[in-house]
Structure 1
Amino acid sequence: MTSESQNRLNQRTITALQELIEINLDSYNGFTKAANLIEDTTLQHHFAGVAQERIRQAVGLQQLIDSDDEQPLIEGSIAGRIHRAIMDWKDTFSEGPNAVLTEVKRGEDYIKAKYEAVLSRTAGSKAAGLLKRQYAAVQQARNRICELRTKFTAT
């Protein structure tokens, strides 16, 4: 394994960044799907906004990997497609947006945990600053989902 530096990423970090690209693409697709499933315009707008943030994050990670002369991933995972199929099922057989919000929160918990794991392994690398900014955006989106879930559970 090559050493990590401010100029070059080691293979372990590149692999971790590839995972984050995949997760961000899955998240983009999931939030886009959720925005189309939900009738509430507030949720539609929020989900669409998070989707756009996640595609920007994926592109940022792709550019970082590309700058290291590596080939970044360009699509999401099979697990992400399964997750979106579950959201379809929950929307069809549930009352109101709470089931979709519950599933979205589960996805947000997952992406947050992935960022935390990668951040703990990449301190001091050229990826650290970008990852910290993206993690803050993930935390903010997750917190907002929790607020919305509480609001819709109460109504």
Structure 2
Amino acid sequence: MKFTEEVAKKLNNLLEKNYDAEKGYQDAAERIENPAMKDFLQKQAEKRYDFGHEIKAEIKNYGEQPDKGGSAKGTVHRAWMDIKAFVASSSEEQVMEEVQRGEQSAINEYNEVISETSLPPSVQQILTKQRDQILKAQQSAKNFEVIS
């Protein structure tokens, strides 16, 4: 596999995770009554949409094509959230716990890709910035859990 294909593959994996996170945040925002939590979730969905566009641009910079749609793992994550919300009657605390869990998974995946020494510095910089914003979102979700 040539270098550009390898970079694009790694970026496409993160792109799919961002599609999944955007959808997950949108789904969670629909379940929440608390206006501050709803606003937080909607803003996070928008951020993930923006992250996706940044990653798409990088993939295209390498002459490769971005993938479309969400991953199977993300679909499973959303389905689990649907079941949990149904059983728990959309408990805001449980939704925010699930957000934290999803964000930790994203952080782990970003760290794995960022640690690749073969990534160009520009890509590492973009991914580090995104990862740091995900870390902030995870902490914000924890803070909501404490407040509620």
Q: TM-score, normalised by structure 1?
A: 0.87
User: What is the aligned length?
Assistant: 146
1:70 is the counterpart of 2:64 = yes
Contact 1:105–1:142 under 8 Å retained in 2: yes
Aligned to 1:120: 115
Assess if the C-alpha contact under 8 Å between 1:122 and 1:128 holds in 2: no
In the alignment, structure 1 residue 149 sits paired with structure 2 residue 145: yes
Superposition CA RMSD, Å = 1.6
Moved over 6 A (4+): none
Q: Deviations over 1:30-57 (max 9, x none)?
A: 0000000111111110000000000100
Q: 1:93 to 1:132 in 2, by over 3 A?
A: same
- In the alignment, which residue of structure 2 is the partner of 1:134? 130
Question: What aligned pairs does 1:42-81 form with structure 2 within 5 A after superposition?
Answer: 42-81=36-75
Structure 1 Cα separation of the partners of residues 105 and 117 of structure 2 = 19
Q: Give identity over the alignment, percent.
A: 27
Unmatched runs of 5 consecutive residues or more in structure 1: 4-9
State the distance in 2 between where 1:59 and 1:124 align: 18
Equivalent-residue separation in structure 1 for 2:78 and 2:2 (angstroms): 37
How far apart, CA to CA, are the structure 2 residues paired with 1:146 and 1:123? 34
Residue 124 of structure 1, CA deviation: 5.8
- Please say if 1:83 is aligned against 2:103: no
Alignment CA distance shift 1:118-1:60 (3 Å): same
CA contact (8 A) 1:35 1:47 kept: yes
Q: Deviations over 1:56-102 (max 9, x none)?
A: 00111011101111001121112212221221221222153111111
Higher Rg of the two aligned structures: 1
C-alpha separation in 1, matches of 2:146 and 2:111: 24
Give the SS at the match of 2:115.
helix
* Structure 2 counterpart of 1:42, one-letter code: A
Out of 16, 28, 32, the residue aligned to residue 34 of structure 1 is: 28
Return 92-101 or 125-134, whichever deviates more.
Answer: 92-101
- The structure richer in helix per residue is 2
Q: TM-score, normalised by structure 2?
A: 0.91
Which ranges of structure 2 fall in alignment gaps of 5 or more residues? none
